[in-house]
């Protein structure tokens, strides 16, 4: 799992580590923000198999006081973490899925700041509550640390004003719900402008697929300060339908950069490297007597451009450095388009099986890059939250059906696209991003559904050194521990 709440540009950020409890133990995946020449601190798989670890700094806002179930009246900036809760050990869930080749068991609940809420007996008395003062405005910094579901979030009788996403300002807009994917962060303002009472904050999943998912709801409370009678019936917000992809996409397209004199943006327009990237859920055929149980003797897989990424036994970052930055010695190249073009969102007879390998994207320093992620009709179709380490990028376009290279680029937003690091590629649709390859190093790119990363829906972006010391990777620090 990844947790990240980045600082808004120009603000001071303090580094801390937040553990979100998922089972009897605790698990967290720490993630870097865009940090030029911090390649030793981010982005690379380091262990054998499909469980990945990353050596990265964690960047979080730390509230002025520790976050507890009831926040002080004077607290106006609050970190909200939403997460997955498992009654069993998370690694047991993963190992069982790997043994059968099937979907991992779904989580037992979602949590808001560590509590699933009063719909669960275990949390009736400890449900998270936010004490607010009439007339005050609160900044909620919401981190989606959920493993495998995109979410809707709303507060009864209260609109939210979205002011930031993934650490960058956006043009403020008012909304009665949030759509937030795993790995994303949202900065929202909430004004306590209702009658003094209790109001539910509710978290519920969005899913437009036949895949298994955690179909539960979690709740927290807003409690106004003052003297009043506790309501017998607490207002609950209304939500889009669980499969309402239109509401999900309408939220996404409202995100736009400030793009003014005080907050300039620099969208690449002279593209030197283009990738058209299919995003698919697939199958692998298992050897006989291996225990795989999916559609006969198969196991689930996932791919980018028909390649299911094989994690290395040692860190690619270290291998890249040790081999004098020679990519050909450590990996093959990922093709810049699908090996076989097809009707991506309507195909009915395309093979579900994929290939596996260690195939990467190699970029020259200074390349202006465009990647179009294309959802497909292969396997279990659904949204895919794609994330790139080491960079923020601009979401310049998104749409339904197959990407049309003749007409869709003309509709790209190159004026005020949002600067983010995680995007929701729509089910049977596409999303286009642009960025400048100015951060040398080895950076992981993957779907932020943990099960899809486990199955291989990932690759590595290697950005070569520039021509100066300041545009080149630094050597490993002497105190850096070895990976094992």
**Residue 306 has which token pair?**
């028909």
Q: What is the CATH number of domain 74-254?
A: 2.60.40.420
Quote the CATH superfamily of domain 273-463. Cupredoxins -  blue copper proteins (2.60.40.420)
CA distance 317 to 253: 35
**Prediction pTM value:** 0.86
- Are 45 and 482 in contact, with CB atoms under 8 Å apart? no
Question: DSSP string covering 151-181, please?
Answer: EEEEETTB-EEEEEETTEEEEEEEES-EEE-
Residue whose token pair is 């109001």: 199
> What is the predicted pLDDT for the residue at 19?
33
> What is the predicted pLDDT for the residue at 69?
34
> What is the predicted pLDDT for the residue at 463?
97
Residue whose token pair is 């097809």: 342
> What is the predicted pLDDT for the residue at 451?
92
pLDDT in single tens digits along all 484 residues of the chain: 333 333 444 443 433 333 333 333 333 344 445 556 565 545 444 322 322 222 333 333 333 333 333 333 334 788 889 999 999 998 899 889 888 889 999 999 999 999 999 999 999 999 999 999 999 999 999 999 999 999 999 999 999 999 999 999 999 999 999 999 999 999 999 999 999 999 999 999 998 887 788 889 999 999 999 999 999 999 999 989 999 999 999 999 999 999 999 999 999 999 999 999 999 999 999 877 677 878 888 999 999 999 999 988 888 999 999 999 999 999 999 999 999 999 999 987 788 999 999 999 999 999 999 999 999 999 888 899 999 999 999 999 999 999 999 999 999 999 999 999 999 999 999 999 999 999 999 999 999 999 999 999 999 999 999 999 999 999 888 887 776 5
Task: Give the 3-state secondary structure of residue 393.
Answer: strand
> What is the predicted pLDDT for the residue at 236?
97
Return residue ranges of the chain for CATH 2.60.40.420. 74-254, 273-463
**Residue 99 has which token pair?**
């043994």
> What is the predicted pLDDT for the residue at 289?
63
**Residue 178 has which token pair?**
């949030």
b/e 143-171 (16+ beta carbons within 10 angstroms → b): bbbbbbbbbbbbbbebbbebbbbbbbbbb
102-132 pLDDT, tens per residue? 999 999 999 999 999 999 999 999 999 999 9
> What is the predicted pLDDT for the residue at 484?
56
């Amino acid at each position: 799992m990844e947790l990240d709440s980045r600082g808004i540009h120009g603000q001071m950020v303090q580094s801390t580590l937040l553990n979100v409890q998922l089972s009897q133990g605790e698990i967290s995946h720490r993630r870097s923000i865009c940090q030029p020449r911090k390649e030793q601190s981010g982005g690379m798989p380091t262990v054998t198999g499909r469980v990945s670890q990353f050596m990265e700094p964690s960047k979080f806002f730390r509230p002025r006081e520790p976050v507890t179930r009831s926040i002080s009246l004077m607290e106006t900036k609050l970190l909200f973490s939403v997460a997955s809760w498992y009654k069993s050990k998370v690694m047991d869930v993963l190992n069982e899925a790997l043994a059968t080749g099937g979907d991992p068991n779904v989580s037992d609940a979602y949590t808001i700041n560590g509590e699933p809420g009063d719909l669960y007996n275990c949390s009736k008395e400890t449900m998270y509550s936010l004490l607010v003062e009439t007339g005050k405005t609160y900044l909620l910094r919401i981190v989606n640390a959920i493993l495998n579901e995109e979410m809707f979030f709303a507060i009864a009788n209260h609109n939210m004003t979205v002011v930031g996403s993934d650490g960058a300002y956006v043009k403020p807009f008012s909304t009665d719900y949030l759509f937030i994917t795993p790995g994303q962060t949202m900065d929202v303002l909430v004004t306590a402008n209702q009658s003094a009472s209790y109001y539910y904050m509710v978290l519920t999943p969005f899913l437009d697929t036949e895949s298994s998912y955690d179909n539960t709801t979690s709740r927290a409370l807003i409690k106004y300060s003052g003297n009043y009678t506790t309501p017998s019936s607490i207002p609950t917000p209304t939500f889009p339908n669980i499969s309402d992809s239109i509401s999900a996409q309408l939220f996404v397209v409202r995100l736009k950069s400030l793009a003014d004199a005080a907050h300039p943006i620099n969208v690449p327009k002279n593209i030197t490297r283009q990738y058209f990237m299919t995003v698919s859920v697939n199958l692998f055929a298992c050897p006989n007597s291996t225990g795989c149980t999916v559609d006969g003797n198969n196991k689930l897989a996932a791919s980018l451009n028909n390649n299911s990424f094989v994690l290395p036994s040692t860190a690619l970052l270290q291998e890249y450095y040790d081999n004098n930055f020679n990519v050909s010695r450590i990996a093959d190249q990922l093709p810049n388009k699908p090996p076989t073009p097809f009707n991506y969102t309507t195909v009915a007879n395309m093979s579900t099986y994929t290939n596996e390998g260690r195939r990467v994207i190699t970029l020259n320093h200074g390349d202006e890059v465009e990647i179009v992620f294309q959802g497909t009709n292969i396997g279990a179709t659904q949204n895919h939250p794609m994330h790139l380490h080491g960079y923020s990028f601009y979401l310049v376009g998104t749409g339904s059906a197959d990407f049309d290279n003749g007409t869709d680029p003309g509709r790209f937003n190159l004026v005020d696209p949002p600067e983010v690091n995680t995007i929701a590629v729509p089910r049977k649709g596409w999303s286009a991003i642009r960025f400048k390859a100015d951060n040398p190093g080895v950076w992981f790119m993957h779907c932020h559904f943990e099960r899809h990363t486990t199955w291989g829906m990932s690759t590595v972006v290697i950005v070569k050194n520039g021509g100066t010391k300041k545009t080149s990777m630094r050597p490993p620090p002497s105190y850096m521990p070895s990976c094992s």
